[in-house]
Amino acid sequence: MEPQLGPEAAALRPGWLALLLWVSALSCSFSLPASSPSSLVSQVRTSYNFGRTFLGLDKCNACIGTSICKKFFKEEIRSDNWLASHLGLPPDFLLSYPANYSDDSKIWRPVEIFRLVSNHQNEISDRRICASASAPRTCSIERVLRKTERFQKWLQAKRLTPDLVQGLASPLLRCPSQRLLDRVVRRYAEVADAGSIFMDHFTDRDKLRLLYTLAVNSHPILLQIFPGAEGWPLPQYLGSCGRFLVSTSTRPLQEFYGAPPDQAADLAYQLLGVLESLRSNDLNYFFYFTHIDAGMFGVFNNGHLFIRDASAVGVIDKQEGGQEATRAGENKDIFSCLVSGCQAQLPSCDSVSEKQSLVLVCQKLLPRLLQGRFPSPVQDDIDSALAQCGDSTRPDPEVLGAASWLKDILRPLRTCDSRFAYRYPDCKYNDKF
């Protein structure tokens, strides 16, 4: 029998209901303790059980067997800074929360727990799912999604093909190639025996998890198929389920807008380098941003800059090409409408230019880092390069040339010391760093 909620816990009911919806796409049952522990040890211990108590992972079928569920159960993810004697919850308006992670319960490192969609989007998404089946306002989300025509096609499929993802709103899937989709299946970390391009080893629930993640937010998928360990500018994937993700911790770029000039120059130089690697790489994929803000980039403690949020990143296969997404509303279904209006249209992949991401960065981010930070004539050159780089009316070669000129200006403005541990002490002996 479910325990009764205490007065303080009952007062938080709207908050933790919303939090549960954030965790998973499926209906779950869960409980809260009647009162918080009295001793400090008990309080900390309770907070370690955040995954069980507040996320409902012990009873939520959506997450059973996933890596993130196992990490919470094994207490490898601890969020003891969230709970206090009054049974407080993390604020439900934030999109990310700090936590700690360990593989052995001895060495701990900071991680971030991300909402893949906002609370408001959660509520809209749930209502849409229920309404699509003419169900009441609350319903079994898993049951509704399982009955859809798209998921029935997924159940029969042996291989993930472009027709199975047609109509999904993710930029990643705007014009997917078979090579890209094979990479998604082969590197999907939430199934046993990953490595095959075929989905024979996927259970029905595995397929629903993958489809739902692709429909809601492709950020966790990008972390898995283009891992930082292989040189991609993305943080380490530690697990996800439904509507939340855990990855290694970074500080948002906007926290460095007031950084010293040499640090600002270093971050700007890295940011331009990241865009260069996304534009030209050994695998012949072209990555682009559909929109951009400072929260999409983060900085590790060693000074290294990474993409913190890849949800707005699209991928075009320059080697194989891709099948353009269907127009005029064809292949649109409930999976197309989980986080955006059903009428929302992404631009054609043919309309994406090489300069697109550079223009966005030079307009919105680099001025906040670089303007008014350096003496003349260096500042004059920086401002001129930024103006050219951020001019969307200029042809691609001119924008790319301006970005290259800006990198040349910034390179000698970076210093070599321990604050930049990602390239120190190598920078003392090699100009490359």
- pLDDT on residue 247: 86
Could you tell me the two tokens for 355?
């300069």
Q: Is the dihedral of CA 328, 333, 338, 342 positive or negative?
A: positive
Lowest-pLDDT range of 52-56, 130-134, 217-221:
52-56
- pLDDT tens per residue across span 110-128: 888 887 777 677 777 778 8
C-beta of residue 99 within 8 angstroms of C-beta of residue 77:
yes
State residue 195's pLDDT score: 83
305-332 pLDDT tens trace: 999 999 999 999 999 876 665 444 457 8
Residue 1 pLDDT exceeds 60: no
Whole-model pTM above 0.85? no
For 183-200, the DSSP string reads HHHHT-TTSTTBTBSB-T
Q: What is the pLDDT of residues 189-234, one digit of tens each?
A: 888 777 899 999 999 989 998 998 899 889 999 999 999 999 999 9
Q: Which residue ranges form the domains of the chain, and what is each CATH number?
A: 56-83+90-249 (no CATH), 251-324+352-419 (1.10.510)
pLDDT at 322: 66
Give yes or no for residue 390 having a pLDDT over 70: yes
Distance CA 182, CA 159 (A): 8
| pLDDT for the residue numbered 76 | 76
**Tally of CB atoms within 10 A around 388:** 17
Token couple for 234: 């993305």
- pLDDT digits 0-9 by tens, 283-293: 999 999 999 99
The radius of gyration computed from the CA coordinates of the chain, to the nearest angstrom, equals 23
Rounded to an integer, what distance in angstroms lies between the CA atom of residue 325 and that of residue 432? 41
What is the signed CA dihedral for 287, 181, 185, 290, rounded to 10 degrees?
30
d(CA 91, CA 351): 40
pLDDT value at 412 more than 60 = yes
What does 55-122 look like in DSSP terms, one character per residue? T-TTT-TTTTTSHHHHHHHTT-EE-TTS--TT-----TT-SEEEEEE-SSSSS-EEEEEEESS-HHHH
For the stretch 3-27, pLDDT in tens is 333 333 333 333 332 333 233 333 3
Whether 371 shows a pLDDT value over 80: the answer reads yes
CA separation for the pair 188, 423 (Å, rounded): 31
